[in-house]
Structure formats: C-alpha cells, structure tokens
Structure 1
Amino acid sequence: MSYEHTETLAPLAPAANQLRKGALGAGAVTFFVISAAAPLVAIAGGAPLGMLLGNGAGMPGAYGITMLILLLFAVGYCALARHVTNAGAFYAFAARGLGGMAGGASSMIALVGYNTMQIGLYGMFGAAAQGLFQQVGISLPWWAYAYIAMASISVLGYRQVDLSAKVLTLLVAAEYLCVLVLDVAIIAKGGDSGLSAAPFAPSHVFSGSPSIGLVFAFACFVGFEATTIYGEEAKDPKRTIPLATYFSVLLIGGFYMVSSWALVNAEGVSKLAGYLGGLPDPTRFLFNMADRYVGHWLSLTMSVLFVTSVYAGLLAFHNSVARYFFAMGREGLLPGHFGKTHDEHQSPHTGSVAQTVIAAIVVAVFVLTKQDPVLALFSWLTNVGALGVITLMAIASFAVPAFFARNKKMSDGVFSSYIAPIGAGVLLVVVLYNIVINFALLTGASSFLSYSLTGLILAGAVIGLGLSWRLRVADPVRYASIGHEKI
C-alpha cells in the first residue's frame, strides 16, 4: 500500500473518543517534560554520582555535551513532529519512517521503558518520604509512602490532563527556585576558592571516566523527549510541540550546567574528588552546600522539594505510559478498550488504571522479597527505563530521514531532515553502547542480573514485533494506519 493512499485513512476512533484537545499550551507541555526529568533529583543525585564515578569536576561539561547532542536530536525530531501528531509519539515516528514492524517493536520498548522508569521512582519516593517524615516523629515503612503516592497519582492520571499540569507547574517551579537560590549564593560568595571555568575545560571534561559521566548526564535528561506524547492535547501542536521540545532541552541543560558548575566551585575543583569520596552518601552533597552557603532552612526546604520532585516525575511518567496504552489500543496493537477515553474527562483512563495496577504489583514484589527501595527498586528499574528511552530516541532519529526520503515534498531541508537526525542517531548509539557495557556499575547489580535487566528492552521489542505481525495478518488496512495523524 502506498504512502499516498494510507495518508488519507480516516482515524479509526470515533470523534467522541479522543483525548482532550487544546488543553495544553507550550508552557504546560514543557512543565510535564521537565518534571519527568526531575531536576532536583538530577542535581542532588545524578550530578554528584556522575562526578564521583565519572569525570569528576568535568561533569558540567558532560551536561553541555549532552545538551548539544539532544539539540541535534531535537532538530529532526521536531521536523517529523510537524507532520506526525499522535499520542504514540516514538512508536508513531518509527512506524511512519521505518514501517509498522518497527513501530510495533518501538511501542513495547516504550511501555517497558516508561513503566520501569515510573515504577523505579517509587523506591526513591518511598525512601525519601520515609526519611523526611521521620524527622517529625512519623515512622512508616517506605512502601506505605509509595502506595499513598500511587493512590493520588492514579486519581490525577484518571482525570483531566490540565489538572496534572497545574500540580506539576507548582512543584517544578519551587524546585528550580530553591536550586537557583543556592547557585546565586555560591556565585556571590565566590565559591570555596574563587570561581573557575575549569569544569568546562577538555582536561577535566575528558578526565577519569568521561563515558560514565556522559551516561549519568543523559539519564538526567530522560523525560524531555515526551513532548510529542501530548501533541493531540496541545494547542496548535505543529507549533507548540517543537517550541516545548527546544525550550525543554535548553532550560534543563542550562539549569544542569550552571548548577553543577556552581556545586563544583562550592567545594573547589581540586578538593571535589576527596570530598565526594569521603561522603557516606554522595547525594548529601547538594544539601551540605545549601547548609554551608545559605542556611539550614534551604537544605530543609530542598529535602521537602526532593520528595515532591520525585512525585512530579512519577506523575509525568504515569501520564506518558497511559497515553502509550491508549495509542496502542486505538491502533489495534493492544485490546480495543485501551483505546477508549473517559466520557467526561477525555483521559486515557484505562491505560492509567493499567499502569497503576502494574506498579502496585511490581512494588509489592520488591517489598515481599525485602529489596532495598533505592539500591534495588530505584537503581535497577530507572536505569532500564533510561536504556529504553534512549533506544527509542536512536530509532526515532533514523526514522526521520527514512520518512523524508519517501516524502521529499515535506522535507524541511537537508540539515533538519537528514544530516542532524543521522548524526544524532549515531551519537545516541554510542551512548547506548556505553550504557550497556557499564550497566553493572550504573545499577550496582551483579553482571548476570544487569544483563538480564537490559534484556527486558530486547524482550519488549520482540513482543512488539509479534503484536505488529499479528495485526498485519489480521487487519492489513489497520496495520497500515499505525502512526498516522490522529487530530
């Protein structure tokens, strides 16, 4: 079936069975994706771990390199987003560029990746909330806090999308404000021994284990790519989604670079490695600097916002998973009830419920087997999630030139349609290689378990291929419509 014929296929879902159109502006979409990136968690956890295990004082430079790669990725990603508006996002892109089989494989990689990312965050949330409430004399097991958060997220995910957006806007704005207060204080006081640009010098950026630093930097950005998931609910998606994507990369990247640079200078470039190595918990670095440069009130506020930051990430990833369930059900890859929206809220409520049930079961398994919420649940699953999302980004990058090669009249130019996405795809494959070979170090798990965890992404791809093959045999016309416009 030719592209020209399939392009005219009408949406399979009836007009009444659609996501809530026009509910989100560029600002709301941006807050969804930067909350998924959990900026405070990244600065408190990802940055010091990247410094300790990766390239030390050169971590700000690693963030800069990552931002440049993701901006290159965004060029092709946004070029295709102007022609494909579908809640299936990554798998829709893969289907339109590389065919329905690639779309099916990508759909299950997305479900595995975003589910594991979301569920893993419950471990961090539970542990952080437990520590916070113990300070005021409330002692509950970590999993109690995880299930309380899960219950509230299930309500927000079930209801209208703009309600979730309002919650996230408040939480994320508070995170940024607190870290920026610390940044300004460090800069104003000249750090430990004067402000230095050394963290951006090649001698520091490529010192130690730069590939590990780069992997940690990429993990801190996971979530920004979800802008296209909200295309069907955005106001003027052809403009809103590209704008939100570029703005998210620049805002997150700039925030990470400045804040990590300030932290390096707060302790001093020459003293940083020794200081981090002496901390029983490297994630205390940010809070210790807040105590030193501003006062205990800021570190206490950050402790509260750290919990809400994880919560914001949980809510954002929950919404992403629900929309993938919806898109796959609508297009026949999953049972049809997943592809129906709520009569009143126009939300992907079935996918929302399914995600909550899966999360409840997986967390229960970790509780019953007495696994550590951070070292096991969080570390293992969020790294699987990061691996899945970066895999999807690489696939999407190669899907862009394939799409424009068949649809030359739609091309936005050689650079945006071919050079940028191919370059980004190659660089993302290099990042993927470094994640896989260093997975045991990233997760703290045994080699056997680490490779078993990475196998979840491969298993998802195989299942997705099976689903798309089944649809291709049972309903060729519907199979040909995978990834097409849904607005």
Structure 2
Amino acid sequence: MSVSSGGGSTTQLRRGTLGVAMIVFFVISAASPLSVLAGGFPIGLMLGNGAGLPALVIVALAVLLCFAAGYTGMARHVTHAGGFYAFISRGLGGMAGGAAGVLAMVAYNILQAGMYGLFGAVFAGTLEAGSGILVPWWLGSLLALLGIAWLGYRNIDLSARVLSIMVIAEYAVVVVLDVAIFSQGGLHGLNLESFTPTQIGSGNPSIGLLFCFAAFIGFEASTLYGEEARDPQRTIPRATYISVLLIGGFYTISVWAMVLGAGTDEVVARLQATQDPTTFLYALSDQYVGAWLTTAIRLLFVVSLFAGLLAFHNAAARYFFAIGRDGLLPERLGNTHRVHQSPHIGSLVQSLVAATILCIFALIGADPVLQLFSWFSNLATLCLILLMALTSLAVIGFFKARPQLVSSALRCFILPAVSGVALLAIGLTAVVHFDVLTGASTSISVVLWSVIPLSVVIGLLLAARLRSQAPLRFSALGNQSA
C-alpha cells in the first residue's frame, strides 16, 4: 500500500469518512433533482410522450435497478476511486479500462462545464427577478466556480455537510408542491391516465425515455467514494440502492403531479405555449400554493445547481486522481493533500478545465443554456450511458473469471446482461436523435458525439504506452486502492 509519495504528499484518500447517508447526499446532489424537475422534465414532456412520461421514469428505474444489481455485486470486491474505469479495467482488461477512464474523465468534466452555463443563466435570471439587477451569466458561473474549487480542494466531509443541507431543502419544496397538487385533485381530478398504454405510446416515447435516463445521471457515482466510505463492501451497495430508489420514486411522483397539475390532455399544449419551459414549475407553484413557494423554488433551483456542480466536481477530481495514481496520466495527479487527504491536484485541474471552457463560451458570445449546457450535458449523458453498458459487460467478465465469487447467476450474469442490452439500445437511440436532444445542427451534432471515439482512441493509446513501459502497472490497472 502506497501512502507517501514524497514532499509530504500522499496517495491515500480520507479513509472511513463517509457513511451511507453522506454518500446518498452526494449521489442525489449529482442527480440534481430540482434542476431536473424544473429544467429537464418539462422539455421531456414537450418533446417526448407528454402525459405518459411518468411511466417511462419507471421503465428507466427498472433498467437501472438491473444495472445496480451487478454494479453493487462487483462493488463488494472492487474498492477504487475510479468508478467505471476501475470496474471496466477489472472486468474487461487494461486496454478497455484505459479507454473507459478517458471517456469517463471527459464525460464528468464536460457535464460540469455545461452545468456552469445553466447555473449562470439561472443565477442571472433569479437575481434580475428578485432585485432588478442585471449581470452577465458568466459572472455567476465564475463565482460558483470559485466556491466549488474551494470546497473541492478541502476534505470530503465538508462537502458532504454542505450538500446535505441543500438536498433536504430542495426535496422539501417539491414535496410541498406535490402534496398541494394531489390534495387539490390537480386540474381535472386524480387519475392514472399517465400509466395507460395510450399515453405511454403517444408522441415520441424514445425521446421521452432518453430524458428519463438523463435525469438519473449521477446515481452511478456512489462507487467513486468507496475508498472514503466506512465499510465500503456494505456502504456502497446500500447507498446505491437507496439513491436510485429515492430518485426514481421522487421523480415518478413529482412528474405525475406536474401532469395532473397542468391537466393530462393540456400539459403539452401548455408547455408549447410557454416561452421558457423552465418556468413551468414556477407557474404550477403559483397556481397551487402561492408566490412564497415559487420564490423558494427559484432560489433553491440555484442551490440545486450549485449542489450538482459540487458533486460532479468531486467525481471529476477523483477520476483525475485515480487515473493518475494508476499511471495512465501524470502521477502527480494521484497525490492527495497532506492535511485534507483530498485529491487536491485533480480538483485544481478540474477547476482549470471548467474555467477555460467557460471563458471560451463567454468570449464567443454563446448561449449558456441552448449551447453550453444543452450540447455538453447531452454529450456527457451519452458517454455515461455507454459507460454503464460497458460496465454491465465488465461485471459479467469479472465474475466469469472468478466463479468462486458468484453469489447468484441472476445478480452476476442475467441482470447485467439485461441492463447492458437495454443501455446499449438507449445509447444508440441517443445517437440517432442527438440533434433533437441538443438542438444543434446535424454537423455540430456529429462534431460533438465524435468526441466519444476520439476519447476512446486517446485512452487506448495511453493504456498501450503504459503496457509497453510498465507492464506490471498495466496489469494492476483498477486494482490499486491506496
């Protein structure tokens, strides 16, 4: 076990710090539920299958529970800050692991950069609505980046405490709205029409399903905190299941409430008539509760985005750390702070990457939501769906090579196979409809998703170099946890 790397630095994260609750807060924060309900699902209702969207949330939940079965089964035997990279390295070999590591690193970095665009726009809009003060979107983004950089540099339990307060608050305001809509019977009374075949198959259900899967992105980050968890063999599986069930149940009930609140037959038309779909939740809050809740939701929308930014920053920093520690990237990235035991160099690099992207988009006058957020968040979602499909295959490979560890064929082989096929199909659907998801032209869409094969090639080259120069280190990829 390597603990010191000279100069007072270490290669060990802060051990035994995170319990189930703290990891759940990180995961839910990454899923950013309020921002998904206010920003993502209204667009999914409008472009997808309308009132049938709540049923598709359940479909996405079912697929992800199949994924979680194998994912958590393997997590009992693989404790590593590299998440997908470590799992794929152990299950499919070092070359596949190198490709997955770079792809995951790109995904989390561009996802966080895209969220900075949305944060800046929402921050500026909220400030203007509340005080009449006009500020450029990038100012709010850079202020958030400074706060995120400071929290990410310090120890992990500080971030967890900050996130716990934010998550509880954003769940609370949505629950208040849900209860108000259900207690008042919605627009035309309570009904289960959203779960009927007619509504599920209406409009474009494939687009709706893509939005549902995108809403869960972040739940997979539970394994990134394995090295910092208390009793990771039990903590990580519990945190993963609690997170995905909590997120899935919350989304299903809340989207159903949104449909009932607007009217099952009227919801799509109402959204199409709205100039900005992200104000849909505010309109429902005004209608069923009052201005005080709408003000709280506006403020907590900003808070929710900040929480998501912090969670994805921590995830990206740990990928830099894990891949650097294993030798695919400069080893200095694999050092941790001698006091905070945080991946401080990975954190600094991540902040630099995000700041660079923000400055570029601000200088060229790009739209922070329709371009920076939409392009990068959908590209990152596609990357992560493909990584989950590969991870499902890696679970099968891992247990096939280690039959003594197999607890049940259902958990170790059958459910991972089901989730792998389903996730691959979803990924291919996302590629076909990528221009619809991003709102970009076909040529820009091609450029964006070409980042995926480019990242894979870079990862393969890095893995091949390590295999040539240090074969023993290559054979240990994804196996170092200290």
Instruction: Check whether TM > 0.5.
Output: yes
- Structure 1, unpaired ranges of 5+: 1-9
CA RMSD of aligned residues (A): 1.1
* Matching of residues 2-151 of structure 1 within 5 Å: 16-134=10-128, 135-151=130-146
* Matching of residues 402-441 of structure 1 within 5 Å: 402-441=397-436
SS in 2 for 1:149: helix
What residue identity is the alignment partner of 1:243? R
What residue identity is the alignment partner of 1:65? V
Aligned twin of 2:183 = 188
* Matching of residues 193-342 of structure 1 within 5 Å: 193-342=188-337
Cα distance in 1 for residues equivalent to 2:4 and 2:84: 20
What residue identity is the alignment partner of 2:361? F
Regions of 4+ moved over 4 Å: 10-16
Cα shift readout 1:44-85 (whole Å, capped 9, x = no counterpart): 121111110000000101101000000000000001000000
Cα shift readout 1:436-460 (whole Å, capped 9, x = no counterpart): 1111011111101011111112111
SS in 2 for 1:280: coil
Report the Cα offset of residue 139 of structure 1: 2.1
* Matching of residues 161-172 of structure 1 within 5 Å: 161-172=156-167
Cα distance in 2 for residues equivalent to 1:174 and 1:457: 36
Cα distance in 2 for residues equivalent to 1:459 and 1:94: 18
Cα distance in 2 for residues equivalent to 1:301 and 1:59: 26
Cα distance in 1 for residues equivalent to 2:108 and 2:136: 26
Aligned twin of 1:6 = none
What residue identity is the alignment partner of 1:373? P
TM-score between both structures, scaled by the size of structure 2: 0.98
1:477 to 469, 472, 480: 472
Decide which moves more: 463-472 or 451-460: 451-460
SS in 2 for 1:84: coil
1:174 to 162, 169, 172: 169
Cα distance in 2 for residues equivalent to 1:72 and 1:80: 13
What residue identity is the alignment partner of 1:264? V
Aligned twin of 1:153 = 148
Cα shift readout 1:188-246 (whole Å, capped 9, x = no counterpart): 00111100111111221121100000000011100000000000000110001000100
Cα distance in 2 for residues equivalent to 1:269 and 1:125: 30
Cα shift readout 1:303-339 (whole Å, capped 9, x = no counterpart): 0000111111100000000000000111000001000
What residue identity is the alignment partner of 1:240? T
Cα distance in 2 for residues equivalent to 1:63 and 1:430: 16
The count of corresponding residues between Structure 1 and Structure 2 is 478
Q: Identity of paired residues, percent?
A: 50
- Does residue 343 in structure 1 map to residue 316 in structure 2? no
TM-score between both structures, scaled by the size of structure 1: 0.97
Cα distance in 2 for residues equivalent to 1:17 and 1:385: 28
Cα shift readout 1:83-117 (whole Å, capped 9, x = no counterpart): 00000110110010000000000000001100010
